[in-house]
Amino acid sequence: EPEVTQTPSHQVTQMGQEVILRCVPISNHLYFYWYRQILGQKVEFLVSFYNNEISEKSEIFDDQFSVERPDGSNFTLKIRSTKLEDSAMYFCASSGQEWTEAFFGQGTRLTVV
């Protein structure tokens, strides 16, 4: 069964460092998303991406965040200068059509120390 895959599963980084989280969406999907979940809190939308550009972003997705689809399969989230409060699970998701089911990857646990 097709699935969204994310790497790494766990990343520890020092405050102020840059991190890149990677995702391979389901192959025939065209709509991509990043969500995050701080421990014990709800899943929050960060950004959506379609046709090589950002469709929508939340207030959380400030200038330290960026997304890219560097090739035909990967979708990345970059955090330029990490802060302690960026520690969370980051989930990539993809869907085949807008407004329909989104399938989530297994997540990357980011720990900023």
Partner 1 sequence: QKEVEQNSGPLSVPEGAIASLNCTYSDRGSQSFFWYRQYSGKSPELIMSIYSNGDKEDGRFTAQLNKASQYVSLLIRDSQPSDSATYLCAVNTGGSQGNLIFGKGTKLSVKP
Residues making contact with partner 1 (CB under 8 A): 31, 33, 35, 41-45, 48, 50, 55-56, 89, 91, 95, 98-107
**Cα torsion 20, 24, 29, 33: sign:** negative
Pick the closer one to partner 1 by CB: 12 or 15: 12
Report residue 107 as tokens. 């997540």
Q: Checking DSSP bridges between strand 103-104 and strand 88-95, what pairing results, if any?
A: antiparallel
Residue 81 CB, shortest distance to partner 1, in Å, is: 25
**Residue with structure tokens 């972003």?**
57
Residue 91 CB, shortest distance to partner 1, in Å, is: 6
Whether 4 and 92 have beta carbons less than 8 Å apart is answered as yes
Pick the closer one to partner 1 by CB: 25 or 105: 105
Report residue 91 as tokens. 């989930």
Residue 2 CB, shortest distance to partner 1, in Å, is: 13
Pick the closer one to partner 1 by CB: 1 or 14: 1
Q: For the chain, how many helices (H) and strands (E)?
A: 0, 11
Residue 35 CB, shortest distance to partner 1, in Å, is: 8
